[in-house]
Amino acid sequence: MKRLTILSTTALLSISLVGGAFAAGMKPEQQIETRQAGYKFMAWNMHKIKANLSGNFKQQQVQKAADAIAGIANSGMGALYGPGTDKAVNGVETRVKPELFTNKKEAGKVARDFIDAANNLAEVAAMGDEAEVKQAFGALGESCKACHKQFRQDD
Amino acid sequence: MKRLTILSTTALLSISLVGGAFAAGMKPEQQIETRQAGYKFMAWNMHKIKANLSGNFKQQQVQKAADAIAGIANSGMGALYGPGTDKAVNGVETRVKPELFTNKKEAGKVARDFIDAANNLAEVAAMGDEAEVKQAFGALGESCKACHKQFRQDD
């Protein structure tokens, strides 16, 4: 738990330092499409966990879904919010609010909270207690909503 | 290594048994979009690792990228190849060949090889030896190509 927490709280710093390299050569529209791909794939895995918590709980399925979410969450998505990605570009839409690019302190906080919650869910899922998974899953959902509320349009 | 290998070789069986549940309620076009999101996000992480191997090797970046790829690879993407996803549907295109849906034995083999290669890269990346990462990354790329060659149009 401790190692993961340390990693996750430094992740955003890493992003800001090496963001350029992570998104090297990518056009703004490619960055938007790639971050949206990450969110879409995480959403699918969130739905799978939700279905497991609403029905027959299959620990291995839940663990795999949680690992996918944590893997994506930790991959440095901040690099995909480069210059020119704050609004629609070349036909690629985005729902991001401009505030994400100006309020970097708050953006960093919600991102760290999200990464921490994703890592916690992955750890709890590996242990396999359904009640703990339910709690960790709820916390992850809250961290998603916290960001959407502040930084996504129509939320 | 052994635990991961055992997990990965059973992953496809899990997919075939629970595929319906994994893609429950998803329209064919949503399944196609979700699997494409997974490949797009993996491709971004492949590019990051390639850039690290071509320049300044940053172990932590490589490990995070490899973990994201392995997390997605293990998440049961086979469920996203449900009925009606073998061709364009409701404006969502796909490059998949019909053979993927008829030659299940070969499709299962290339998928298992891909998952094994992704897990191996994640393990090697965690250890941090650049030469080993290069070899494991090359093997993963070959596993991607093997599937594209057989089951993707224009390849």
Total residues found in chain B within this entry: 155
In this prediction, residue A22 carries a pLDDT of 61
| Helix (H) or strand (E) segment spanning residue A135 | helix A130-151
DSSP-derived 3-state class of residue B154: coil
Q: Which of A3, A44, A59, A123 to mutate to test the interface with B (most CBs of B within 10 A)?
A: A44
Q: How far is A94 from A150, CA to CA, in rounded Å?
A: 15
Nearest CA in chain B to A17: B61
Residue A47 to residue B22: CA distance in whole angstroms: 9
Subunit contact B72:A74, Cβ cutoff 8 A: no
Whole-number mean pLDDT of chain B? 89
- A10 with B17: CB under 8 angstroms? no
Q: What is the pLDDT of residues B51-105, one digit of tens each?
A: 999 989 999 999 999 999 999 999 999 999 999 999 999 999 999 999 999 999 9
pLDDT digits (tens, 9 = 90+) for A109-135: 999 999 999 999 999 999 999 999 999
Q: Could you give all domains of chain A from N- to C-terminal order, each with its CATH number? A: 2-151 (1.20.120.10)
Q: In the structure encoding, which two tokens stand for residue A97, read together?
A: 């609010």
Q: Which two tokens stand for residue B8?
A: 């990965």
Tokens of B13: 């069986």
Band of residue B153 on the pLDDT scale cut at 50, 70, 90: very high
- Interface predicted TM-score of the whole assembly (ipTM), two decimals: 0.87
Query: How far apart, in whole angstroms, are the C-alpha atoms of residue B52 and residue B140?
Result: 16
Please state the pTM of the whole predicted model.
0.88
